[in-house]
């Protein structure tokens, strides 16, 4: 009896510790995140061997099928076979990490409140640290507010991803809270406003606009339309109030955001182009000409990715090969004054098309179609928590926006964490019904 209790308690305690550490390590840097993902996978396999139970792996065999297909596509087609295959094998850690997280989430059902309490505390800390950095120029760790590009990093140092992180982890937490308990509408509205307005402070335009995409999807899908409509209206009102605050040259974040929000083509502009001249606390506006979009730095990255895809329609250039092959194709553009190449095309969908072609992109889309079928067929939309998480995943891969690389550690970690939590809530929903 005692032996059996120990068998159950070890995964529980270790799983809880890993889930908490994963958030702390994410802030600390990519190296620690990678170490933790690998450690989680090893521990998951050790626990499976210890219990002599591999049923969990069989339940997610679709993951291994997808991985095998992508491997075959790249091995057979890429001119950079060794590099491409090596990158794919290294990337396996993220879907395997997702399976491990699902396992550990199921093992900590009795202590889920501890996990959620930690997430709440982390969110409050990050918001507090961000506001200190905005108003006082440095956060509690000594990281400075970026006056050149009007951005907040908080404890992430030189990584401007705190808004992106707060958006995903914040609404992930909200999905769990709403799943396991009935939350008063006022508390939901307040939570949405605090997370959203903090993202506004960070200066991350894409993330801020993603919030509206998320809320629109949630209004369409969920049964809390009145709550979400009120949240959206209040968010617009408070955002308009904040971006009209005269912080001037010393703290021009809101002023800059006002420019970015009222000048749609600015979304596509480079950092250098965004750093506008300021005079008397006003940013000089440019004309809204169509060529501002077509001639921007980001648009050139898009075009480079599309060009690579056009030359490798079926299978792409190879997994994570954009940064290498782009320069080979750059000579095909007769305009040498424009920088087209970067480490990635700055859009998830173009990146996958250029690297993996139609076949790889079809596999990518089929996964989201699969999730959508599950969501609709099993009527997960009946639960507000499940709806929040589903819309968060869809917003994550929404096609019409500039993004970082889909395959970086930070992006992949958050994406597969969301996927793991989705499948966990799915199982909890099925058990509750």
User: How confident is the model over 69-114, as pLDDT tens digits?
Assistant: 777 776 666 667 777 778 888 888 898 899 889 888 888 877 888 9
| H or E element, residue 195 | helix 185-202
pLDDT of amino acid 181:
85
pLDDT of amino acid 363:
86
pLDDT of amino acid 235:
93
pLDDT of amino acid 72:
73
pLDDT of amino acid 293:
45
Q: For 235-266, give the DSSP string.
A: HHHHHHHHHTS--TTTT-HHHHHHHHHH-GGG
Judged on CB neighbours under 10 Å (0-12, 13-18, 19+), 333 is: middle
In terms of phi and psi (left: phi > 0; alpha: psi -120 to 50; beta: otherwise), the region of 381 is alpha
pLDDT of amino acid 188:
94
Q: Which residues of the chain have pLDDT under 70?
A: 1-12, 53-54, 56-59, 74-79, 148-149, 245-298, 329-339
Q: How many CB atoms lie within 10 A of CB 53?
A: 10
Handedness of CA 158, 160, 161, 162 (dihedral sign): positive
pLDDT of amino acid 246:
60
pLDDT of amino acid 272:
47
The DSSP symbol for 156 reads: G
Q: How far apart are CA 411 and CA 407, in angstroms?
A: 7
Does residue 84 contact residue 356 with C-beta atoms inside 8 Å?
Answer: no
pLDDT of amino acid 168:
96
Does residue 296 contact residue 265 with C-beta atoms inside 8 Å?
Answer: yes
């Amino acid at each position: 009896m005692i032996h059996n209790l120990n068998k159950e308690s070890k995964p529980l305690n270790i799983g809880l510790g890993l889930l908490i550490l994963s958030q702390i390590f994410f802030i600390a840097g990519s190296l620690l995140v990678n170490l933790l993902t690998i450690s989680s996978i090893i521990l998951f396999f050790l626990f499976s061997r210890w219990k002599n139970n591999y049923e969990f792996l069989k339940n997610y065999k679709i993951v291994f099928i997808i991985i095998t297909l992508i491997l075959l596509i790249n091995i057979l087609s890429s001119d950079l076979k060794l590099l491409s295959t090596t990158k794919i094998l290294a990337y396996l850690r993220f879907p395997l990490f997702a399976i491990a997280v699902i396992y550990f989430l199921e093992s900590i059902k009795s202590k889920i409140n501890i996990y959620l309490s930690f997430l709440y505390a982390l969110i409050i800390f990050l918001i507090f640290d961000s506001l200190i950095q905005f108003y006082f120029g440095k956060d509690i760790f000594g990281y400075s507010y970026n006056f050149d590009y009007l951005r907040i990093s908080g404890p992430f140092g030189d990584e401007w991803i705190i808004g992106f992180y707060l958006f995903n982890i914040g609404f992930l937490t909200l999905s769990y809270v709403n799943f396991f308990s009935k939350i008063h509408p006022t508390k939901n509205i307040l939570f949405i406003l605090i997370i959203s307005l903090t993202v506004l402070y960070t200066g991350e335009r894409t993330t801020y606009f993603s919030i509206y995409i998320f809320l629109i999807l949630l209004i369409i899908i969920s049964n809390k339309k009145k709550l979400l409509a009120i949240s959206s209206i209040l968010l617009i009102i408070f955002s308009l109030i904040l971006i009209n605050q005269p912080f001037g040259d010393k703290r021009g974040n809101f002023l800059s955001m006002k420019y970015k929000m009222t000048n749609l083509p600015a979304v596509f502009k480079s950092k250098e182009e965004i750093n506008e001249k300021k005079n008397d606390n006003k940013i000089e506006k440019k004309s809204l000409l169509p060529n501002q979009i077509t001639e921007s730095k980001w648009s050139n990255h898009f075009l480079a990715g599309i060009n690579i895809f056009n030359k490798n329609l079926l299978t792409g250039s190879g997994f994570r090969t954009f940064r290498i092959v782009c320069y080979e194709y750059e000579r095909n553009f007769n305009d040498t004054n424009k920088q087209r190449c970067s480490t990635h095309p700055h859009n998830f969908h173009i990146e996958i098309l250029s690297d993996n072609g139609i076949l790889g992109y079809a596999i990518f889309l089929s996964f989201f179609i699969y999730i959508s079928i599950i969501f609709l067929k099993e009527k997960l939309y009946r639960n507000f928590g499940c709806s929040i998480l589903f819309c968060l995943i869809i917003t994550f891969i929404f096609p019409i926006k500039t993004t970082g690389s889909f395959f970086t550690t930070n992006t992949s970690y958050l994406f597969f964490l969301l996927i793991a939590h989705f499948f966990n809530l799915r199982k909890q929903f099925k058990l509750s019904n």
